[in-house]
A = this chain, B = another copy of it.
């Protein structure tokens, strides 16, 4: 916690940030984008090598001139454990400074009880701690629910009550970074996916209900306590309908399997996700009409959010992709009809998300953001 000498690792931090954002970037390319003189590039890479933060491997030569090198994470460098908790399974990977995922693991839950699942995760953290020692700097966890200061507030798909997630790292002294899965998949899309390069991006994903996030320069607007992005609980819907969240008229209730079931005059489905897929496979008129209504609500809501946030691009994930595909014209009409006139000339494109392991990659990205700050580098150097 000593005050870091101002500017001490400034350029080093910039270089590492480049590395995490563009894995496999060459040393010469880094120097160009950061406008570093060749002397500075030599010096900063040497320093980063000395403290085990990067290594260099020869890059395939590209035409004339002395070949440059690829920057890679150092084999003894810091790592992050990224975890992605899902309804019936969890994933993990070790992430290095060049953004590559190693030791990927995939496990199905044997029991879905919170304590059992969290204990499994904790054991996994401890194991990584054993294996990587002080190289392991942080644990980043994606959860399908509302997160507030590392507490899970509500998780409709998991059906868990409020829960402190820090038990996952308890005893290890490792910092935990818990985040909503939709938010984190948005981070991944904004950094390396369909919204790469966008200054302002809006990401929305339908599974049960709708989640998402607003991203500004790749940074999610997480709000005061990390619960930002609950777009499903804006009152775009029918005010007479109560939402399990406690409010009324939530958008959530208009765009997923529960809405389809209602339109088809059926009870609440046990698994709204699977139910939606089922309805999407049907070709009868009733099913089509129900899908049309849902897609219309989706398009209108997105338009409202575009009016409010003026994003460069919107990315959609989960069931939103097949839903839109099933009623493209309806979507286009609802979306463009809901936009303010001046947006209609060139409305922000609504692109399908491209990264299947978005939450894991997003969790990794936010953790790497921490690791590449000046103070974190200084701490790493001081410890060695």
Contacts and interface: CB of A to CB of B under 8 A. Distances in A.
A287 B221 CA distance: 39
| A contact face: mostly helix, strand, loop, or mixed | loop
A311 interface: yes
Given A6-B10, A300-B235, A308 B340 contact: no
A230 B222 CA distance: 20
Contacts of A229: 308, 310
Q: Which of the listed residues A6, A153, A199, A229 has the most CB atoms from chain B within 10 Å of its own CB? A: A6
Interface stretch (A99-107, A241-249, A267-275): A241-249
A182 to B, nearest CB: 12
A185 interface: no
Given A199-B224, A200-B221, A344-B246, A233 B308 contact: yes
A305 B234 contact: yes
Interface string A1-30: 001001100110000000000000000000
Interface in A295-315: 300-301, 303-305, 307-312
B340 A247 contact: yes
10 contacts: A7-B7, A7-B10, A153-B342, A224-B348, A230-B307, A230-B308, A233-B308, A234-B236, A235-B301, A245-B307
Work out how many copies of this chain go into the complex: 2
A180 to B, nearest CB: 11
A200 B200 CA distance: 17
Contact of A228 (B6, B200, B234): B200
A227 interface: yes
Given A235-B338, A338-B248, A224 B307 contact: no
Interface of A: 3, 6-7, 10-11, 35, 40, 146, 148, 153-154, 162, 198-200, 214, 216, 221-231, 233-236, 239, 245-248, 300-301, 303-305, 307-312, 337-344, 348
Given A7-B7, A304-B234, A310 B222 contact: yes
Contacts of A6: 7, 10-11, 40
A229 B111 CA distance: 45
Nearest to A36: B6
B154 A228 contact: no
